[in-house]
Structure 1
Amino acid sequence: MREFLIEARKRVPLAIVGGSDFKKITEQLADHDKDLLLSLFDYTFSENGLYGFKGTEPYPVQSIQKAIGDAKLQELINFALRYMSDIQLPVKRGNFVEFRNGMINLSPIGRSCSQEERMQFVEFDKKHGIRQKFTEQLREKFGQYGLQFAIGGQISVDVFPTGWDKTFCLQYLVPDFDTIHFFGDKTAPGGNDHEIFADERTVGHTVEGPEDTRKHVENVLKELD
């Protein structure tokens, strides 16, 4: 996939946007090598663009605690910990709450789970709607605080100020490009790709994994021929 993206970038500029923090994205895409990651993309956006780069030049960093205040953050975290403590899962591990610059990431199983345990949770969540129910409870209790709640990745729920979804990164792209294609898998309402997928400033593509992403990108590149 990395080799494919390197070839695709010879024809079009590439940007990556993810809800994870910069360290996790570097781990996933560049074997913990920051310089390699920034060399692969023209734009790199972690935490939906709240911590991002154009090439190697950083954009200003945003902060969720400055946006809503520590009192509301603590109320949210306390509620989430109580709620997750009552969920019965096949296994639970550690790191249930991850504090990032622009969001809080809540994981019922815990982000320190193994890959095998992660996939076990994915199947359990599909059957029982664990994260969907969690998101609904959070939205009902804290929606009035100007927060959004989205099912993120495979094991967690993202909490962030309204407007700080993945469309946040578009402010850095729109001035330079007439057409922006976005490829994501959580594009249905409630997923953390939905807002940018449905945004009028992008052409959205729903993909199911790396190989499917490659096929969609290849089709877009063919249209440019």
Structure 2
Amino acid sequence: MTKKLLLLFDIDGTLTEPRQKITPEMIEQLEQLKDKENIDLGFVDGSDYCKQKEQLGQDKLNLFKWKFNENGLITFKENKEIHSNNSKYSKYSKNFKDYMGEKHFTKFINIILKNLAKTEIPKKRGTFIEYRDSVLNISPIGRACNQDERDEFEIYDELHNVRKNLIESIKQDWKNYCYFNEDSKPELQKINYSIGGQISFDVFPEGWDKTYCLQFVENEYDEIHFFGDKTYKGGNDYEIFNDKRVIGHKVETYKDTIKLLKLINK
């Protein structure tokens, strides 16, 4: 009996160059896979629908049976939304702000802003914090930078660990706040940080990483194969790559993904 497979992809650095559009060669491989009766395709990404549509294209989104926006806190199956983090199906039923409470969330933002201001790097632009329902995306250089500046920051970050150091500073300040604040509660310290893409990292409540999406597919397939590039500890693919429900495939760039898909398509 032929096994039923789900091929699940990260987007940035796996299906595309970071923040770039999907290539015709990648589309060709995905189209061939979609034609196989025993294979379904899906993607899981921390970004929202608009960014995914920008990179993959509106028409090519239909290649994917499963679309997991914001790590699966918003889930589409066959273009129909079947789950959102504010729905009755969610075990959390809250966004990040509601999870913390307005007072604590505002303090958390202030701590992030303070540490961003203290971060010394050659260039800074704009949009340093992007609030999504389930995730805060933090960028030391700012998401308003152009592609050349993205590339420059990525190299600088590899040499100086800007994002890693910023995360550690935020963690320590938040730990101190939670310890000394009389209104603190245990959930406030259950916050995860994961580096992704070229210029930023995500912050979210514990359990809201990419493994969140697996609850919707783990009983529908014989095997779930995940493809991602940030599979190291602290990377935003780490948890799902190492989950026992998944067979993980590490790639360095989208070109590695194409090579693996060609082998499957043979």
* Same fold, judged at TM 0.5 (above): yes
Q: 1:90: Cα distance to partner?
A: 2.0
Kept in 2: contact 1:182–1:197 (CA 8 A):
yes
Q: 1:37: Cα distance to partner?
A: 4.5
Equivalent residue for 2:42, pick from 7, 10, 15: 15
Unaligned runs of 5+ in 1: none
The corresponding residue for 2:4 is: none
The corresponding residue for 2:195 is: 151
Bigger Rg, which one: 2
The corresponding residue for 1:166 is: 210
Percent identity between matched residues is 42
Structure richer in helix, relative to its length? 1
Equivalent residue for 2:55, pick from 28, 46, 63: 28
The corresponding residue for 2:83 is: 60
- Aligned pair count reads 218
Pick which of 58-67 and 173-182 moved more.
58-67
Return the TM-score normalized by structure 1: 0.92
Q: Give 4+ residue runs of structure 1 displaced > 4 Å after superposition.
A: none
Equivalent residue for 1:120, pick from 143, 148, 152: 152
Question: Relative contact order (alpha carbons < 8 A, sep ≥ 6): 1 or 2 greater?
Answer: 2
Alpha-carbon spacing, 1:141–1:221, altered in 2? closer, same or farther (3 Å): farther
1:184-208 Cα deviation digits (max 9, x unpaired): 0000000000000000000011101
Pick which of 131-140 and 119-128 moved more.
131-140
The AA in structure 1 aligned to 2:141 is I
Give the whole-Å Cα distance in 1 for the aligned partners of 2:198 and 2:69: 17
Matched, 1:90 2:115: no
The corresponding residue for 1:187 is: 231
Pick which of 37-46 and 196-205 moved more.
37-46
Give the whole-Å Cα distance in 2 for the aligned partners of 1:61 and 1:54: 12
Alpha-carbon spacing, 1:95–1:201, altered in 2? closer, same or farther (3 Å): same
Q: 1:137: Cα distance to partner?
A: 2.3
Q: 1:136: Cα distance to partner?
A: 1.9
Kept in 2: contact 1:51–1:101 (CA 8 A):
no
Matched, 1:204 2:229: no
Kept in 2: contact 1:135–1:151 (CA 8 A):
no
1:80-101 Cα deviation digits (max 9, x unpaired): 1111112122211111000001
Return the TM-score normalized by structure 2: 0.78
Q: 1:70: Cα distance to partner?
A: 2.0
Give the whole-Å Cα distance in 2 for the aligned partners of 1:123 and 1:71: 37
The corresponding residue for 2:185 is: none
Matched, 1:43 2:87: no
